Structure 1
Amino acid sequence: MLDLTTLRARLRAWLSDSTGLALSDGLLDEAALQALDAINRAGATGYSVQGLGEAPITTLPAALEILLVHGAGALAAEGAAVAAERLLEPDGQRTTVLVAWGRAQYGRFQIALAELRARQMQSGLEPPYAAWGEAPDV
């Protein structure tokens, strides 16, 4: 089962930061929260990961773990690159490459979210507009 410690380890492995010196826990946690929020919005769900945002249990299905890792990794890489860019010369190639990689990964994450949303809409028991029927008329 995925928890915050395991999620951080998977992110560090994917981002080649096994020592934890390049990416802070705070950056990884925030990136994971944002990616999980995007997954929840795309699928109209309320998944959680134990320890992330004080969640007591993990409800994220195992099939979506890799999507969370990829989304959080893309956000963390881009965040780290933006922070590093402030410290380095604006023309620093390594930073530019990292920003481009992070943006490409985030683009892939967005495509996967769209696919998740489409699957949810096709397989849902209610039509996607059903929630609007509950809202009072203005």
Structure 2
Amino acid sequence: MTTMRNCMQGLFRIFQRDPDQNNALRECEERLRGLETELDEEKRRHADAQRNLRESESRIKELTFQSDEDRQNNERMKDQVEELKQKIKTCERQIEDEKKIAATTREMYEKLKREMNIEEDNKEKTGQAVSKLRDEGRGGSASQLS
């Protein structure tokens, strides 16, 4: 801007020597002021654009970092889900095994209960037979005494 002003001042000196060109000099000065104003506006817009660019770059870095963290968390979650699925499968297998054991135990219990009932019936029958034999034996010995 100072270079343009120096240039204009040089032109001004030249135009002062020639009075017919005074109007042209004023027009140039007005045009120069207009261009300086446009330049200031453009500098301000450029500074705003630079600031916006820095803010955008910073936001992009934040989002990239957040995206990386989210991706890592997602991978960890997937691994945990897989581990839990494996644990569930293991638990389901254990439940099935326990059901089989319970069924076998129940069958054995029922079998032993039936056998015990049979033995109790046999014991009762044997007891009755022994009683009967005793009764007969007493009756037979009493009849032998008489």
Please, what TM-score do these two structures have when normalized by structure 1? 0.28
Please, what TM-score do these two structures have when normalized by structure 2? 0.27
Higher helix share: 2
Higher relative contact order (CA 8 A, sep 6+): 1
Bigger radius of gyration among the two: 2
